[in-house]
Structure 1
Amino acid sequence: MSDNDPRHEAPSLIGKAAPIVITGGSGFIGSNLADDLLGSGEEVVILDNLSRPGVAQNLEWLKEKHGARVHALLADVRDFSAIEPAFADAKAVFHLAGQTAVTTSLGEPFLDFDVNARGTLNVLEAARRSIHRAPVIFASTNKVYGALDDLKLIEVEDRYVPAAGDIRQNGIGEDRGLDFCTPYGCSKGAADQYVLDYAKSFGVPTAVLRMSCVYGPRQFGNEDQGWVAHFLIRALEGQPITIYGNGKQVRDVLHVRDAVAAYRTLLQSIESVSGQAFNLGGGPANAVSLRRVLAEIAKLIRSECDVEHAEWRPGDQAYFVADTRALQHRLGWKPTVSWRAGLRDLAVWLHDYRGLGAALGDRERISA
């Protein structure tokens, strides 16, 4: 390994300003979070194996924008000896690295478990052994609540709505029982519970954010993960979009700027919320069906989307909208970007940075 190998960078931070470690820091949410932290003057260690297509571009963007305060450690969370040095002097850890697709978990359950469950345990142990006993904030998923097959829904013209008025008004809360399904739900759910238990068993400050659908700039969405960006990319390319099911599935979508704000707010309050899990999503105000998103994309590109249909996939939820009142009441966080404005923001970024589609009439971006 040469002296210029990026795997040497993270340990060199020991003795300097304590950095913040972001696992999966070259990914979609990770790179946006890193950019925000770096813009605040923080030193950031980007721990990533760069396995996801496109994320190497995010790392280069961060380096070009922020220079020497970006410290890249090219390593895999499954390799404890390789990642441990990055945590030695860390003051905080955002654990975003993971296997993110249900479909992949069904085809490769060992891989899914190793990355999501064992990889998380490695991160927790590295943080526990660090000089500052660094707090860990973990990116979990709403899939820990299962497929929600027991949720009574009413089918209307373009979406499903819950029969229960309280869920229709507020969404699914953290008091919903855990019900892991699919290997992905099991591996992320196990990681979710390990993170919470490290606060109880070892006194490591930890917290969990169970995320709904986050979207926005720097997302390289595909059919299995990042569906909002995937839909928009396919539409801008003039390619068909496959809908699994009837398209009336409802999700609460959240712009990445609001997600970053939630992660940073949680870290600021980690001592008071350690050992707790919070739902993170756009909430009822940003609850949209796949059909409604496609209709809005058609307006943006001034052309109908080419849509194909296929059978429902295992573990797909017909409805999930996060009740985020706990996060709002405890930490004062709330989503600020409406889903229509956020979709336009992503479309402008895809045009400007990836050359997709024609320029939109309204050029205003939400975030810099």
Structure 2
Amino acid sequence: MKLLITGGCGFLGSNLASHAIQLGMEVVVFDNLSRHGSYENLRWLESIGKFTHVHGDIRNKNDVVKLIQQYQPHNIFHLAGQVAMTTSIDNPQKDFDINVGGTFNLLEAIRLFNPNCGVIYSSTNKVYGDLEQFTYRETDTRYECIEMPDGFDENVQLTFHSPYGCSKGAADQYMLDYARIYGLKTAVFRHSSMYGGRQFATVDQGWVGWFCQQAIETSKNNVITPFTISGTGKQVRDLLHADDMIKLYFSGMRKIDKISGEVFNIGGGIVNSLSLLELFKILENNTSTKLIYKNLPARSSDQRVFVANIRKASEAFNWVPTVSSEEGVKKMLEWCKNCA
């Protein structure tokens, strides 16, 4: 079994590649190594076992065509992308070229040269826009959506609301339409928040890891200079740890014939949801330090709440997350400490 992972040196990709290598699969990792931490993840994968790294750019049609023609993968995890909403606002052309143009390049190469392979695309909850059409109540530590107490399902209207939402949403829809029109075996996973080892978080992406880093720095150096957060800190996301994410992707790969043309909301579900304030409390308890921060205005198009209703995925894949948010945050803290 040959598996191609685009963006295979990123957080999600390197975790999936590691698992596939250890299973003895023939693994091809396609990555231009432009993202922070990608070189480190490449070296880490090389320490695990044998695989092929192809240095290329998803925006380059020739790179993508050559990749598909040469390697003829049985399955593809398409993860290469521009992943930060803030970056999409600063540079919408780059965001479009990577997320829309790159995905289109891949789909066309598959359609023309390898139409029998299965593809799972990593999409995002941002395709649902800011979700301000719903009603929210505010507690001491979080916002709660009144109409969606168990989380947002796949029937929520797509409204996008940011360049990032537009680009990922367009790619998301191309994936589904190539299943309808051309019979390709494609499926879409719309992610909430993922975290875990090999995630080199930044201020713009990977919020759990980023605040773990802030807590470690505060504890280690007795930092009293406040860091910043956007909004009230009561914004809520559900967390999916890398260990559970790996199981889900490989289950999807095995069932690609049955799930072709389908979309799944992916996350830790309501039981694994946290607000920023609730995360800070866990970090304070586990670092014996007080986090000091100041509030900035809420980011444009940011959702007050996104929690994935994972019922469809749970039923399709006989899957439920096993790593609790508190346990996962502790694991993330340890990984960040080892990287410090």
* TM-score, normalization by structure 2: 0.95
Report the Cα offset of residue 19 of structure 1: 2.1
Aligned amino acid, residue 58 of structure 2 = V
Write the deviation string for residues 131-183 of structure 1: whole angstroms up to 9, x where unpaired: 4631111000001111001110110101011223xx21x21000111111111
Aligned to 2:84: 101
Partners in 1 of 2:283 and 2:30 — Cα distance? 34
Aligned counterpart in structure 1 of residue 249 of structure 2, from 245, 248, 263: 263
Partners in 2 of 1:131 and 1:175 — Cα distance? 31
Aligned to 2:129: 146
Partners in 2 of 1:131 and 1:274 — Cα distance? 16
Report the Cα offset of residue 299 of structure 1: 1.0
Would the aligned equivalents of 1:127 and 1:136 in 2 still touch at CA under 8 Å? Answer: no
Report the Cα offset of residue 129 of structure 1: 2.8
Aligned to 1:331: 317
The alignment status of 1:75 with 2:56, answered yes or no, reads: yes
Report the Cα offset of residue 241 of structure 1: 3.1
Aligned to 1:341: 327
Aligned counterpart in structure 1 of residue 235 of structure 2, from 249, 269, 276: 249
Alignment map for 1:112-127 (pairs within 5 Å): 112-127=95-110
Partners in 1 of 2:117 and 2:144 — Cα distance? 42
The alignment status of 1:192 with 2:172, answered yes or no, reads: yes
Write the deviation string for residues 173-221 of structure 1: whole angstroms up to 9, x where unpaired: 0011111111100000000000001111111100000000000000011
The structure showing larger relative contact order (alpha-carbon pairs under 8 Å, at least 6 residues apart) is 2
Aligned counterpart in structure 2 of residue 215 of structure 1, from 195, 207, 227: 195
Would the aligned equivalents of 2:22 and 2:48 in 1 still touch at CA under 8 Å? Answer: no
Partners in 2 of 1:97 and 1:274 — Cα distance? 20
Partners in 2 of 1:241 and 1:232 — Cα distance? 12
Partners in 2 of 1:111 and 1:132 — Cα distance? 28
Aligned to 1:288: 274
Unaligned runs of 5+ in 1: 1-17, 357-368
Aligned counterpart in structure 2 of residue 272 of structure 1, from 245, 258, 263: 258
The alignment status of 1:29 with 2:12, answered yes or no, reads: yes
Local SS of the residue matching 1:305: coil
Would the aligned equivalents of 2:129 and 2:160 in 1 still touch at CA under 8 Å? Answer: yes
Local SS of the residue matching 1:350: helix
Write the deviation string for residues 287-320 of structure 1: whole angstroms up to 9, x where unpaired: 1111000110111111011212101111100011
Aligned to 1:129: 112
Report the Cα offset of residue 76 of structure 1: 0.6
Aligned to 1:320: 306
Aligned to 1:8: none
The alignment status of 1:206 with 2:186, answered yes or no, reads: yes
The alignment status of 1:172 with 2:158, answered yes or no, reads: no
Partners in 2 of 1:197 and 1:183 — Cα distance? 21
Aligned to 1:63: 46
Partners in 1 of 2:281 and 2:114 — Cα distance? 52
Partners in 1 of 2:65 and 2:52 — Cα distance? 15
Aligned to 1:85: 66
Partners in 1 of 2:85 and 2:159 — Cα distance? 15
CA RMSD of aligned residues (A): 1.1
Alignment map for 1:348-359 (pairs within 5 Å): 348-352=334-338, 354=339, 356=340
Unaligned runs of 5+ in 2: none
Aligned amino acid, residue 128 of structure 2 = Y
Local SS of the residue matching 1:308: strand
Aligned amino acid, residue 280 of structure 1 = I
Q: Structure 1 233/71 Cα, relative in aligned 2: closer, same or farther at 3 Å?
A: same
Partners in 2 of 1:258 and 1:128 — Cα distance? 31
Q: Provide runs of 4+ in structure 1 moved above 4 Å.
A: none
Would the aligned equivalents of 1:172 and 1:322 in 2 still touch at CA under 8 Å? Answer: yes
Report the Cα offset of residue 348 of structure 1: 1.4
Partners in 1 of 2:328 and 2:18 — Cα distance? 18
Partners in 2 of 1:219 and 1:131 — Cα distance? 31
Aligned amino acid, residue 111 of structure 1 = K
Aligned amino acid, residue 193 of structure 1 = Q
Report the Cα offset of residue 263 of structure 1: 0.9
Q: How many residues align?
A: 332
Q: Identity rate of aligned residues, in percent?
A: 42
Partners in 2 of 1:121 and 1:241 — Cα distance? 39
Aligned to 1:231: 211
Would the aligned equivalents of 1:235 and 1:241 in 2 still touch at CA under 8 Å? Answer: no
Aligned counterpart in structure 1 of residue 162 of structure 2, from 159, 182, 190: 182
Report the Cα offset of residue 123 of structure 1: 1.2
Partners in 2 of 1:72 and 1:83 — Cα distance? 14
* TM-score, normalization by structure 1: 0.88
Report the Cα offset of residue 45 of structure 1: 0.8
Aligned amino acid, residue 206 of structure 1 = T
Local SS of the residue matching 2:113: coil
Aligned counterpart in structure 1 of residue 37 of structure 2, from 46, 49, 54: 54
Would the aligned equivalents of 1:244 and 1:310 in 2 still touch at CA under 8 Å? Answer: yes
